[in-house]
């Protein structure tokens, strides 16, 4: 599958801070998705992006589909303790399976 590089690998922040993470690919994707996984659970879809340049928000979360179609970023504003978890980017080329980054582990202290 296509290689996805997700960074940072982990983040340790204080409540109220903003967070930014990104994903880059060696291939062009048609779709970028961002997921969050809590311990013992399956990943939950946060945001889906379908067009280059697209900027989409879901509450305090904002994600963008890079104009080169090889990257995407996710921002979380004013973090709260329940934002703790592992965030995954995922990209898909038409006709191929969804490939995942290795995740960004987010820890938020009150």
Partner 1 sequence: KAGVTQTPRYLIKTRGQQVTLSCSPISGHRSVSWYQQTPGQGLQFLFEYFSETQRNKGNFPGRFSGRQFSNSRSEMNVSTLELGDSALYLCASSDRRESGGLGTGELFFGEGSRLTVL
Residues that bind partner 1 (CB under 8 A): 1, 31, 33, 35, 40-45, 48, 88, 90, 92, 94-103
Nearer to partner 1, 16 or 96 (CB): 96
What is the nearest approach in angstroms of partner 1 to the Cβ of residue 95? 3
Any idea which residue has 């998705």 for tokens? 33
Instruction: State which residue, 14 or 94, has the beta carbon closest to partner 1.
Output: 94
H helix or E strand, kind and range, residue 65: strand 61-65
Question: Least Å distance between CB 80 and partner 1?
Answer: 23
55 vs 80, which CB is nearer to partner 1? 55
**Under 8 Å CB-to-CB from 64, ≥6 apart: which residues?**
49, 53, 54, 55, 56, 72, 73
Work out how close the CB of 107 gets to partner 1 at its nearest, in angstroms, rounded to a whole number.
Answer: 16
Rounded to a whole number of angstroms, the minimum distance from the CB of residue 50 to partner 1 is 8
Residue (1 or 16) nearer to partner 1, CB:
1
Cα angle, residue 16 at apex, residues 82 and 65 outer, rounded to 5°: 75
Burial of residue 85 (CB within 10 Å: 0-12, 13-18, 19+) is: buried
């Amino acid at each position: 599958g296509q290689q996805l590089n997700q960074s940072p690998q982990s983040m340790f922040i204080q409540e109220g801070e903003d967070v930014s993470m990104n994903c880059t690919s060696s291939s062009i994707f048609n779709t970028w998705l961002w997921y969050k996984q809590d311990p013992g659970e399956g990943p939950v879809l946060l945001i889906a992006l379908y067009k280059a340049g697209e900027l989409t928000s879901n509450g305090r979360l904002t994600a963008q589909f890079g104009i080169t179609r090889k990257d995407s970023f996710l921002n979380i504003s004013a973090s709260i303790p329940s934002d703790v978890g592992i965030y995954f980017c995922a990209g898909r080329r038409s006709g191929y399976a969804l490939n995942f980054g290795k995740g960004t582990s987010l820890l938020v202290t009150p």
